[in-house]
Amino acid sequence: MAQCKTSIEQCVCDIDHWMAINKLKLNQDKTEVVLISSRYSPRPPLESLQIGNVNVVPTPSARNLGAIFDQCFNLEEHIKSVCKSSHYHIRNLAKIRKYIDEESAKIVVHAFISSKLDSCHSLLYGLPQHLLSRLQSVQNAAARIVTRTRKFDHITPVSCTGYLSAIV
């Protein structure tokens, strides 16, 4: 394990050197380490990595380019974050929905909800259905707000008429 740790630290040092040559800066304070492994096999013991002058301790999850990666690489934290943020915007849109027309509601949904659902969606391929259904419920809630469909009505007729595909 010591050899792997040294190898990783040297690799980051080489990246830092390359960035300096190309007038870029590696922000050591924002550097995070996530050990990715199967949930069924133990993670290798790693207390910390020395990156420049900073001692970096492994974290359970880290954000990179808008996606949150966790230790098992199942994107559960990412989906949880997207759903939380989307439901926040859906609640706020529901409060003002009676004051705006359907086209304006679609624009708001595109800006605040669809953009989150579409971001990094190619990473979601192959995930279990219980995780994807959480994202589907966000999409259904957004369609209900836009079309003013009641909470317990089936969303299928709305999606068949093209509203769901038009907004998400």
What SS3 class is residue 7? helix
- The number of residues in the chain equals 168
DSSP state of 58: B
pLDDT digits (tens, 9 = 90+) for 23-74: 998 888 888 888 887 778 777 777 888 877 788 888 888 888 888 888 888 8
Q: Check residue 167 and give left, alpha or beta (phi > 0: left; psi -120 to 50: alpha).
A: alpha
The pTM for the full model equals: 0.73
Cα 63 to chain centroid distance, Å, stands at: 8
What SS3 class is residue 80? helix
pLDDT band at 8; cut points 50, 70, 90:
confident
